Structure 1
């Protein structure tokens, strides 16, 4: 059985987007239980020179949209980076997930060897084959932003654990016989 680039890309990105949404749900519940506004987390950051929570989610979204578009040779939707509330961040995640899951598998035919270029500065462009782009650039970059969002929320006192990041739900838990 072979695995397609579309399966790897869509499955890993969709999982990460669903994880981000679940992390925001858990953070919202924690804030409300504490009598705080969850929107206070939107501008939280780990360090002064790092993007806030909103920026981490925006970059994860941009990485997801760009990856699918480049691999499938289609246009990606453009979203303004103007989210200031949890509801807006959740809406962005939902729009991104819907886009990722909407691109037909047939659009990914030949993606493994397709030449992919990514702007990396004013006069720098990175070049990859589609498979190298997915494995060496997209997945690490996307996961960086997802884990940084997790870390920001954890740093703000939201009770998150490894299972929350991994997105392991009750359907995966097996009991001993």
Structure 2
């Protein structure tokens, strides 16, 4: 059986993690004098800081890969202490995604998620991806982007949508 959906998910996660890495680089260059304070920036007092947004963005594809490998969820430490640690989270998540070797039948399996205090949810693999992982992945990626924008880092939609840049054509090109 082919694994078109699994491969598509790997590609989506990888390309958006490339975007996160790019955003981090731009933020780092903008905050070159006080780069570590960037990790503590947040949109609102009750929201998690930029460093945590990076960890939580990485947790989604990371736990997807672990599930595909038959392993338990293993979230990253949300207290990101340095930009080196943030970069490592992104690159190690991308490396973990490369280890996936399952077909699309994995998406018909049931994924149980425990929330503590006896609470849990069971979802089909496809619902796990579509209804849990992807919304959480984009929520934390967009929140990281928004924190950088609020911190006046010179980024825009092109930076967020950079996965489409290779497909841009000029009308005069054949």
Pick from 118, 121, 130: which aligns with 1:123? Answer: 118
The Cα offsets for residues 90-148 of structure 1, whole Å up to 9 and x where unpaired, read as 111111111112222xx245212100111234221111111111111111111100000
TM-score (norm 1): 0.86
Instruction: Please name the residue that 1:87 is paired with.
Output: 84
Separation of aligned partners in 1, 2:75 and 2:139: 21
Residue 172 to residue 7, structure 1, CA distance change in 2 (3 Å): same
Instruction: Please name the residue that 1:43 is paired with.
Output: 40
Report if the CA contact (8 A) 1:46-1:155 is conserved.
yes
Flag as ranges the 4+ runs of structure 1 deviating above 6 A: none
Report if the CA contact (8 A) 2:27-2:153 is conserved.
yes
Report if the CA contact (8 A) 2:56-2:78 is conserved.
no
2:44 is paired with a residue whose SS is coil
2:105 is paired with a residue whose SS is coil
Structure 1 position 8 matched with structure 2 position 8: yes
Instruction: Please name the residue that 1:20 is paired with.
Output: 20
Structure 1 position 147 matched with structure 2 position 142: yes
Pick from 112, 118, 136: which aligns with 2:107? Answer: 112
Aligned-residue offset at 1:172: 2.5
Report if the CA contact (8 A) 2:15-2:163 is conserved.
no
Separation of aligned partners in 2, 1:4 and 1:72: 17
Separation of aligned partners in 2, 1:103 and 1:76: 15
Separation of aligned partners in 2, 1:13 and 1:114: 21
Residue ranges of structure 1 left out of the alignment (5+ in a row): none
Separation of aligned partners in 2, 1:62 and 1:42: 17
1:93 is paired with a residue whose SS is helix
How many residue pairs get matched?
Answer: 171
Instruction: Please name the residue that 1:60 is paired with.
Output: 57
1:24 is paired with a residue whose SS is helix
Residue ranges of structure 2 left out of the alignment (5+ in a row): none
